[in-house]
């Protein structure tokens, strides 16, 4: 049986001027064309070739000896070549680009951006890409709690947080309470595994352990002061929401960073502002 979106080893059953027809056996009535430019030199009827099956620009099933960057059942990070009103077109290594419908995007994609996708067949039996990959991710990672992993953000939820594919294949989540950065879908992140759930899915933190994160948070606060002329119009008594919006960290982390800077004599706190302390 000829299968769209998959690599198959098929036999040359017939030669024609414009290529060869391939089937599962010499008697197979279901065949597919391999264009002449794709036929390896010296190939003859009876020879077997590894090919990939997809649809050409005329919507006809066709074979190619060029192997794409993704096949059915796989996940891959692909780059957007072009965007339009109904979707985007991805570079998957074949002459005809892979269509990513707008409804299959978890966020609006941009040209040149790279995103994690899977293949599916639409209602017209055409190969398309989808960014809805949650149910396709694996839950059998080899990692232990405390390990660091790298992955790509493929979805985002105000309720749950950042959905990450660790190693581009394992299901992971940065819980909403840990989502303090200005992250976008398609961004690559490095996180620490804080929990392995019973179903094998991973919880991640994009921050170091508190004692390791302290210096980084302090420097982030100092950079914010520099960017704002030496002061900011709020203190560590501001609401968690305001701190999250303006500093991209939790109130607890902000207070620890401010305390660290106070002890080192780098800042001073007024009634309604934090100021960089002038060198005496």
Indicate if the pLDDT at residue 16 is higher than 80. Answer: yes
Provide CATH code, domain 75-134. Answer: 2.40.50.140
Helix (H) or strand (E) holding 267: strand 267-269
* Phi, psi torsion values for 143, nearest 5 degrees: -90, 160
Indicate if the pLDDT at residue 75 is higher than 70. Answer: yes
Q: Which CATH class is domain 7-64?
A: mainly beta
- Categorize the per-residue pLDDT at 210 as very low, low, confident or very high, splitting at 50, 70 and 90: low
Q: Which CATH class is domain 137-205?
A: mainly beta
SS3 state at 192: strand
Query: Residue 182's CB: how many other CB atoms inside 10 A?
Result: 6
Q: Which tokens hold the place of 146?
A: 């405390």
Q: Which tokens hold the place of 245?
A: 């919006």
CATH 2.40.50.140 occupies which residues in the chain? 7-64, 75-134, 137-205
CATH 1.10.10.10 occupies which residues in the chain? 210-276
Helices of type H across the chain? 210-227, 240-247, 251-263
Query: Residue 262's CB: how many other CB atoms inside 10 A?
Result: 15
Q: What is the mean pLDDT of residues 192-213?
A: 83
Q: How many residues does the chain have?
A: 280
- Categorize the per-residue pLDDT at 209 as very low, low, confident or very high, splitting at 50, 70 and 90: low
Condensed to tens digits (0 to 9), the pLDDT of residues 107-153 reads 999 999 999 999 999 998 899 999 999 999 999 999 999 899 999 99
Which pLDDT score, from 0 to 100, does residue 92 have?
A: 97
CATH topology for 210-276?
Arc Repressor Mutant, subunit A (1.10.10)
């Amino acid at each position: 049986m000829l299968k769209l979106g998959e690599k198959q080893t098929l036999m040359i059953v017939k030669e024609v001027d414009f290529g060869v027809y391939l089937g599962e056996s010499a008697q197979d009535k279901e065949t597919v064309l391999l264009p002449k430019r794709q036929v390896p030199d010296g190939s003859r009827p009876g020879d077997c070739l590894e090919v990939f099956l997809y649809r050409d620009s005329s919507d006809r099933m066709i074979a190619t000896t060029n192997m794409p960057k993704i096949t059915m059942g796989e996940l891959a990070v692909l780059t957007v070549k072009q965007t339009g009103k109904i979707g985007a077109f991805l570079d998957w290594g074949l002459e005809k680009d892979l269509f990513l419908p707008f409804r299959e995007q978890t966020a609006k994609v941009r040209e040149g951006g790279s995103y994690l996708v899977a293949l599916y067949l639409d209602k017209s039996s055409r190969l398309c890409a989808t960014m809805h990959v949650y149910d396709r991710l694996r839950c059998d990672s080899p990692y232990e709690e405390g390990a660091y992993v790298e992955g790509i953000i493929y979805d985002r939820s105000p309720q749950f947080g950042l959905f990450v594919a660790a190693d581009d294949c394992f299901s992971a989540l940065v819980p909403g309470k840990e989502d303090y950065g200005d992250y976008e879908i398609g961004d690559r992140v490095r996180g620490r595994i804080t929990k392995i759930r019973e179903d094998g899915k991973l919880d991640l933190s994009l921050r170091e352990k508190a004692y390791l994160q302290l210096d980084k948070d302090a420097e982030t606060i100092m950079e914010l002061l520099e960017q704002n002329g030496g002061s900011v119009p709020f203190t560590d008594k501001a609401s968690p929401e305001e701190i999250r919006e303006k500093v991209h960290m939790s109130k607890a982390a902000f207070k620890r960073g401010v305390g660290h800077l106070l002890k080192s004599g780098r800042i001073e706190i007024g009634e309604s502002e934090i100021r960089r302390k002038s060198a005496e």
